[in-house]
A = this chain, B = another copy of it.
Amino acid sequence: MDIKMRSDCPISCSLDIWGDKWSLLIVRDLMFSKQCTYGDFLKSDEKIATNILASRLQMLEMNGLITKQDHPESKAKVLYKLTQKGIDLLPIMIEINLWADKYFTLPAERKEILAEVKKDKEAFIKEKTIELQRHTN
């Protein structure tokens, strides 16, 4: 599995890494939970297949968006976390949420979070970024 760039366009380069149906859902989970085990990802609503999850985690790690860490309480478990490069996807994730808010019916809990975002987007991003960075070792 290697990285083939289709062009030097930033959109294209970005899509080459996370332009599929699953990668940003993994990033989403990590933004909500700060850290996830392999099993945590499998539990998400969208029901990703285990082999696809493994390949996406490998892809995201190889491209420096996430890191693997030993679980402090168990050698059987692995912790996945966002790197700074992954945390920096936050503004994109927020804009996707705002777009979806305009054109879909969102679950109530997401609407609440988005209300806070709409109040002061910059502040939300700054705060959330720091919060995520705190969990980065």
Contact = CB atoms under 8 A, between A and B. Distances in A.
Interface of A: 6-16, 19-21, 24-25, 28, 44-47, 85, 88-89, 91-107, 110
When A and B form their complex, which 6 residue pairs have the shortest distance between CB atoms, in order from nearest?
A10-B100, A7-B45, A6-B46, A92-B95, A91-B95, A19-B21
Contacts of A107: 8-9
B45 A100 contact: no
Residue of A25, A85, A96, A97 most packed against chain B (CB within 10 A): A96
Given A20-B19, A21-B19, A24-B19, A10 B101 contact: yes
Contacts of A97: 10-11
Contact of A45 (B12, B25, B106): B12
A89 B100 CA distance: 10
Copies in the complex: 2
Contacts of A101: 10
A45 B110 contact: no
B102 A9 contact: no
A124 to B, nearest CB: 14
A17 B13 CA distance: 20
Given A6-B21, A91-B98, 19 more contacts: A8-B105, A9-B45, A9-B46, A9-B107, A9-B110, A10-B101, A11-B25, A11-B93, A11-B96, A11-B97, A11-B100, A12-B45, A14-B96, A14-B104, A15-B24, A16-B21, A20-B21, A88-B102, A94-B95
